[in-house]
Amino acid sequence: MQLTSAFTLLASLVSVVVAHEGHDHDMQMPLDYVKFPYQAAYPGDNEVTADSIFSGITTFAKLPWVKCLGKERNEPFDIAFIGAPFDTGTSYRPGARFGPAGIRAGSRRLTLYGGYNVPLAVNPFMSGLKMVDCGDIPVTPYDNKYAIQQIEDGHKELLHRPTFSPLGNDTLTGKPLVPISADGKHHPRIITLGGDHTIVLPLLRSIYSAYGAISVIHFDSHLDTWKPEVFGGAPSQQAAINHGTYFYWASQEGLISNGSSIASIHGAIRTTLSGPADYANDDASGFQRIEAREIDTIGTAGIIKKIRETVGDRPVYLSIDIDSIDPAFAPATGTPETGGWSTRELRTILRGLDGLHIVSADIVEVAPAYDTNAELTTMAAADVLYEVVSVMAKTPLGKIIVD
């Protein structure tokens, strides 16, 4: 009997191993995983909410996970979230390589009650656009030059992917919309989860391939246009590119719109300087500035007005450093500065960008290791992107041709 039982058990184990070896791992579906947005279980108006939002694989806002840079590289989409886990260009506290994972964790509750954005009167996740989470760009931690190229290549591959949805017609005139890009093509939007702010140089190089030189709205406590010989001293060619100099290089490469009537703008600036020459260099790089303290005199409405007057109705790239928010609300960042805006104030300002043609965006410098147990910073980052994607969902990247 014992010998028979042993043979029976062995036969069972063999069958399990054979079955496992013949199983396609890519066909395994994590709990609550959905492949396409129209299968997502986002509740609509007056439907069930708050149901096990904490379960399942952690993607941004429980969006479908698509291997955009792998076996599903032909999958079209309208808006994609992609991580860039790079932090070897930071000058103070590292750790932003874990930012993408932290932001995704902070986003789990975004659709807890449904996802409808009351101030903007839109549910971006049910707007008809196909949104996906593409995971992370594989970034080496050993070679900054190679990593920066990886980020540019990964972003560019997604940016030049066909969109899932057509541009359609203008809602007011009924006329067909045409793309606003420089190459005449309709491109999807890419929202990048950083990573330290160095990643914006390769991202802007990618954006340039579709839109040419572009206006930038930059929320940050720091200028990030410093000359390399000032910020870090540029001990090597590669060390000259870091999270304090990337806009300097972007300006030098012609990636940023720079002219008397075309400009970019910083918001929430409150950094110390080497001296007034830093502002002169910032001017030469094509930026106007809104100091963080201006919110005390002109309020959020005045800040929104300045931004809109600066960028107009041109295509614009949006870059958000989490340290634009005061460390009382978002402490987990590489170079924190007190005296910043509150999370509520930044979200109000972002909603004030409604109607702008934001072609792509990023949020950077989230370093979860310095966060509170309540995950304040990663939640703030996720909520900020919720406002960004809501604005995007309302405004297509098209224009009408005036006869």
Residues flagged as binding site for Mn(2+): 197, 220, 222, 224, 321, 323
Binding-site residue set: 197, 220, 222, 224, 321, 323
Helix residue spans in 107-245 (DSSP H): 144-159, 200-211
Q: CA-CA distance, 228 to 210, in Å (whole number)?
A: 28
Q: How many other C-beta atoms lie within 10 A of the C-beta of residue 259?
A: 8
| Pair 211, 181: CB distance under 8 Å | yes
Question: What is the greatest pairwise CA distance in the chain?
Answer: 93
Q: Which residues contact 61 (CB under 8 A, 6 or more apart)?
A: 107, 108, 110, 111, 115, 125, 382, 386
Of the candidates 341, 382, 385, the one whose C-alpha atom is nearest the C-alpha of residue 360 is 385
The number of helix segments (H) and strand segments (E) in the chain equals: 9, 10
Q: CA-CA distance, 291 to 219, in Å (whole number)?
A: 10
Q: CA-CA distance, 92 to 150, in Å (whole number)?
A: 24
DSSP string, 381-396: HHHHHHHHHHHHHHS-
195 preceded by a cis bond (ω within 30 of 0)? yes
| Pair 134, 80: CB distance under 8 Å | yes
Q: CA-CA distance, 77 to 176, in Å (whole number)?
A: 21
Cβ-count burial 218-243 (b if 16+ within 10 Å, e if not): bbbbbbbbbbbebbbebeeeeebbbb
| Residue 186, SS3 per DSSP | coil
Cβ-count burial 142-162 (b if 16+ within 10 Å, e if not): eebeebbebbbebbbbbbebe
Strands 358-364 and 131-136: unpaired
